[in-house]
């Protein structure tokens, strides 16, 4: 995965609470078996009318937010189905950061697994971000969000910070060392037969 350091971009304000994963990527696209190319279906029913033409009023279609890498959303983002396609679609569309007051648990974990940084902030900070017009900078190393009149810290578990900063695929990393881990475990068992 691409290492994550600083992201600077205009932030797309998605002013909705309880955005569930079926809004992020509707069920009809789950049947596809590849892991890439889901970006075109992101927020499909909100982005497009039934005849396929873009809905001009939807924030992602606004010219101002094209190329945005930061998504702002209201409380409980990513609730509902556990589909990892939601994280895949957001990433493929170009989002690397999602800022909200809270995330659903499975979605939150799925983000880190795919190189997206989900950030929990307080309600006042989120409101300020929604109101800001300029670019926003997310600095992972210093755990900071900066923008016009905004300079706040955010919390992240050290494990996830390391994974994102180094662009590690933690599962691949662990599995690549699986043989060594197994060898260690079995030699350990031989030495301590009762502990197995």
Partner 1 sequence: MLNITEKILARASGRDSVSPDDVVFANVDKVMVHDVSGPGVLAVFEKLRKNGVKIDRLHDPEKVWVAEDHFVPAADKISAQNVVLLTQFTKDYGIRRHFKYGMGQYGICHTLSHEEAMVLPGEVYVGGDSHTNTTGALGAFAAGLGHTDVAYVLLNGKIWFKVPETLYFKLNGRLPEYAMAKDFILKIIGDIGTDGAAYKTMQFGGTGISEMSVEERLTLTNMTTEAGAKSGIIEPDQKVRDYLAQRGATNYREVHGDPDAQYAKTYEYDASEIEPVVAKPFSPENVSVARELSSTPLDKAYIGSCTGAKLEDLRAAARILKGRTVKIRTEVLPAAISIFRKAMDEGLIKIFMDAGVMVGPPTCGACCGAHMGVLAKDEVCISTTNRNFPGRMGHVESKTYLASPLVAAASAVTGKITDPRDLK
User: Token digits for 167?
Assistant: 């662009």
- Kindly tell me which residue out of 32, 142, 153, 165 binds partner 1, with binding defined by CB under 8 A: 32
Q: Which stretch binds partner 1 (CB under 8 A): 2-10, 109-117, 132-140, 145-153?
A: 109-117
CB of 82 to partner 1, least distance (A): 4
Distance CA 21, CA 190 (A): 47
Half-sphere exposure for 129 (CA within 13 Å, toward CB):
31
Minimum CB distance to partner 1, residue 69 (Å)? 22
Any idea what DSSP says for residue 115?
Answer: T
Which stretch, 5-13, 15-23, 122-130, 136-144, contacts partner 1 (CB under 8 A)?
Answer: 15-23
**Cβ distance to partner 1 smaller for residue 149 or 178:** 178
How big is the site for partner 1, counted in residues (CB under 8 A)?
39
Instruction: Give, in order, the Cα–Cα distances in Å from 169 to each of 62, 156, 195.
Output: 33, 17, 31
Q: Shortest gap between Cβ of 132 and partner 1 (angstroms)?
A: 25
Alpha helices in the chain (DSSP H): 21-24, 44-47, 85-93, 105-113, 123-131, 158-166, 170-176, 178-191
Report the residue number, 102 or 127, with the smaller CB distance to partner 1: 102
């Amino acid at each position: 995965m691409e290492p994550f350091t600083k992201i600077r971009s205009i932030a797309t304000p998605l002013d909705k609470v309880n955005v569930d994963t079926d809004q992020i990527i509707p069920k009809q696209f789950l049947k596809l078996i590849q892991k890439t190319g889901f970006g075109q279906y992101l927020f499909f029913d909100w982005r497009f009318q039934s005849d396929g033409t873009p809905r001009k009023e939807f924030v992602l279609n606004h010219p101002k937010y094209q190329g945005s890498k930061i998504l702002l959303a209201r409380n409980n983002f990513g609730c509902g189905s556990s589909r990892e396609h939601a994280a895949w679609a957001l990433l493929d569309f170009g989002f690397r950061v999602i800022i909200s007051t809270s995330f659903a648990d499975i979605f939150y974990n799925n983000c880190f697994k795919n190189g997206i940084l989900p950030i929990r902030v307080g309600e006042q900070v989120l409101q300020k971000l929604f109101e800001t017009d300029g670019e926003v900078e997310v600095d992972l190393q210093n755990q900071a969000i900066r923008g016009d009149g905004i300079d706040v810290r955010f919390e992240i578990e050290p494990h996830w910070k390391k994974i994102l900063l180094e662009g590690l695929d933690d599962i691949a990393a662990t599995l690549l060392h699986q043989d060594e881990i197994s060898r260690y475990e079995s030699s350990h068992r031989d030495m301590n037969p009762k502990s197995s």
